[in-house]
Every structure is written in structure tokens, then in C-alpha cells.
Amino acid sequence: MTLDEFLNDLFLGCAFAAFVELATLNGGTPDSEAVRRRAYAMYEEELARRGK
């Protein structure tokens, strides 16, 4: 998988964004469960925004 394919995949993009967001807030590696919950929330928000 190329970087473009990774970043263009909606869920993978949300997971990456969630990881970066939480790592920034925590000042280090975030808890994987917190990343999972945030990624799903971001994914569902984006699907709703797109009307899917």
C-alpha cells in the first residue's frame, strides 16, 4: 500500500489523525483503546457529514 492509498482510505486516515491528535495531547504514545475510540468517532462523523 502506498502512502497516497493509505491517506486516501477514509478509515485509515481517521485512525492516523486520531493517533496524531492523541499523541500531541498526551505528549507521547497514546493508549491504543483511546485511539480506536477516537478513530471510530472521527470516521462516523465524516460519514455523517458526507451523508453516507
Residue 52 has pLDDT above 90, yes or no: no
- Alpha helices by DSSP H, listed for 1-52, are 3-8, 10-26, 32-50
Residue 49 has pLDDT above 80, yes or no: yes
Q: What is the pLDDT of residues 17-45, one digit of tens each?
A: 999 999 999 999 999 999 999 999 999 99
> Rounded to whole angstroms, how far apart are CA atoms 42 and 37?
9
